[in-house]
Structure 1
Amino acid sequence: MGGRLLPVRAGERHRPVLPAVPGRAPARAAVRRAAVPGPGPRRRPRPRYARVRGERSPGLMAIAVGGLLHVAVVTPDLDRMAAFYTGLFGAEVVKDLSLTTPVFGEGVGVPGATARTVHLRLPGASTVVELTQYAAHHPAADPRAPANAPGLRHLALRVDDIGAAAGELRARGLEVVGGPVEVDRPVAARGTRFLYFRDPDGNLVELIEPPSRTAAAGEPDARTRPAGAGSPTEAESEGNRT
C-alpha cells in the first residue's frame, strides 16, 4: 500500500486483510478467526403442555367417571310408560319430579323447556330408567327406527326364562320384533337366549337370558336334555353376545 492509510468511516467495522503468500491461498482457520461474528437467528422456545398422568395427547386429560347413573327415555305419555314398566317388570318409582325452572331448559339446551321426570329402579339393577315427558316435544325423525339405526337404540334387561317372558309379552299384545333365539357363535356367548320387543312408545327393549355354565363350556344345556336327565344349573352373568 506504499505506507498509505485507507480511510475508514466512524463506526464502520472492517476485517483485517491478511498478507497473501505468493502461491498459497489464505489459511481457512485464519479467515474464520478474522470474520466478525454477527447476530444469529433467534430460536423460538418449544411450547410446553400440561402433562397429566395417563393422558394420550398433549393438553388433554381423561374425565373420571364414577358409574352409569341412568338411561333416559323421552315419552309423550309418562303415566302410561311408568305403568308399563312397573307392571311388566316390577320396577319401583324412586323419583317423580317437576322440572319447571329456567335453569332446566338452559341445562338441556332447550330454552324455556319444562318437563316431568320419573326414575324407575328395576329389580337387581343399580342404574335407573329415567322417563321424561316434556310440555312441548320435538318431532322425532323416525320414532320406530330399526335396531341397526345409528344412535342410542335399545334398553337391555336380564331375565331368567326367555320363553316365559316371550309368552307374557304376546299375551299383553306387545310386538316381538325378533326372537327368542339362542346364540351358537362365538363360543364366549354360546347358549345366550334373547329377543327384541317394542314398548308402548315403540322403543326397542331387549330381554337376555344368560347361558348356563354347562352351555357356556360347550356341553349340552340342561334345559334341552330329556326329562330326568338332571336339573338345570344356575344361570351366570350376561355373556358377551354379538
Structure 2
Amino acid sequence: MSVRGIDHVGVTVPDVEAATDFLVRAFDAEVLYDTLRADEPPKEGPATTGRLGVPGTAREVRIRMLALPGGPGIELFAFDHVDQDDPAVPSDLGWQHLALYVDDLDATLERVVTAGATALGEPRPLPGPEAGDRNRFVYVRTPWGSTVELLTYPDPQPYEEQTSRRRWHP
C-alpha cells in the first residue's frame, strides 16, 4: 500500500453556489467540474443510499469539485429531501475540521473573514511540540458552519529534535 496524500475533502453545504463563491474568494479555489449539475436529475434511491450510507429519502442534487492552489480538492455536495444536522464542531465525533497551511496568517485571516467566515478568536502561537517564534494558528467558521483551521509553521518545531520524520505540508 502506498498512501500519497489527501486527494480531496468532501463537504456537504446548503448552497453549492454560495459555498463556491466563499471558497474562491477566501482561498483562491478554482472550479474544476460539476459531477452533478443543477439541471440534471437528482441521484437518489437504493444506489445512493447504499453508496453513501445516507437515509433512503436523501437526494443528491449537486456535486462540484474545486481545487485549492497547491493542495487537495474540495468536493461540495448538496442534498434535499432529508433532515440535516447542524455542521459538526470540534467536540463532535468524526472528522472535525479542515486545516490549511498558509504563508501569511494575518492576511489570509483578513481575506477569509471578508469572504464571509467568522474568526473564532485571534491567531495564537502553536503550542508545545509545534512551537516556534512565528508558528501560529487560528480557527474560523465558514458561512455554512464548518470549522477551518489556518496555520503556519515556518520555524523549526521542537518535535523535530525527537524524530527524523516530518509532518507533511505544501
Alpha-carbon separation, structure 2, partners of 1:94 and 1:104: 23
Aligned residues: 151
C-alpha distance 138-168 of structure 1, shift in aligned 2 (>3 A): same
CA RMSD in angstroms, aligned pairs only: 2.6
Structure-to-structure mapping, 1:9-158, within 5 angstroms? 64=1, 66-67=3-4, 68-98=6-36, 100=43, 102=45, 103-110=47-54, 111=56, 113-115=58-60, 116-125=62-71, 127-140=72-85, 142-143=86-87, 145-158=88-101
Alpha-carbon separation, structure 1, partners of 2:126 and 2:52: 40
On the 8 A contact 1:210/1:237 being kept in 2, the answer is no
Does the alignment pair 1:212 with 2:155? yes
Equivalent pairs: percent with the same residue? Answer: 32
Alpha-carbon separation, structure 1, partners of 2:120 and 2:139: 6
Alpha-carbon separation, structure 2, partners of 1:109 and 1:198: 26
How far apart are 1:212 and its partner, in Å? 2.8
Q: For residues 105-135 of structure 1, what are the alpha-carbon distances to aligned partners after superposition, in whole Å with 9 as ceiling and x for unaligned? A: 431234464321111110001x311110013
Alpha-carbon separation, structure 2, partners of 1:184 and 1:112: 45
Alpha-carbon separation, structure 2, partners of 1:90 and 1:131: 15
Alpha-carbon separation, structure 1, partners of 2:90 and 2:107: 23
- Aligned residue for 2:25, secondary structure, equals helix
On the 8 A contact 1:106/1:112 being kept in 2, the answer is no
Alpha-carbon separation, structure 1, partners of 2:111 and 2:92: 27
How far apart are 1:101 and its partner, in Å? 6.0
On the 8 A contact 1:72/1:129 being kept in 2, the answer is yes
- Aligned residue for 2:32, secondary structure, equals strand
Q: Whose strand fraction is larger, Structure 1's or Structure 2's?
A: 2
How far apart are 1:100 and its partner, in Å? 2.3
Q: Of 159, 171, 174, which aligns to 2:117? A: 174
Alpha-carbon separation, structure 2, partners of 1:109 and 1:157: 28
The letter of the residue matching 2:80 is A
TM-score, length basis structure 1: 0.54
Alpha-carbon separation, structure 1, partners of 2:113 and 2:25: 15
Based on CA coordinates, which of the two structures has the bigger radius of gyration? 1
The letter of the residue matching 2:51 is G
C-alpha distance 82-170 of structure 1, shift in aligned 2 (>3 A): closer
The letter of the residue matching 1:118 is R
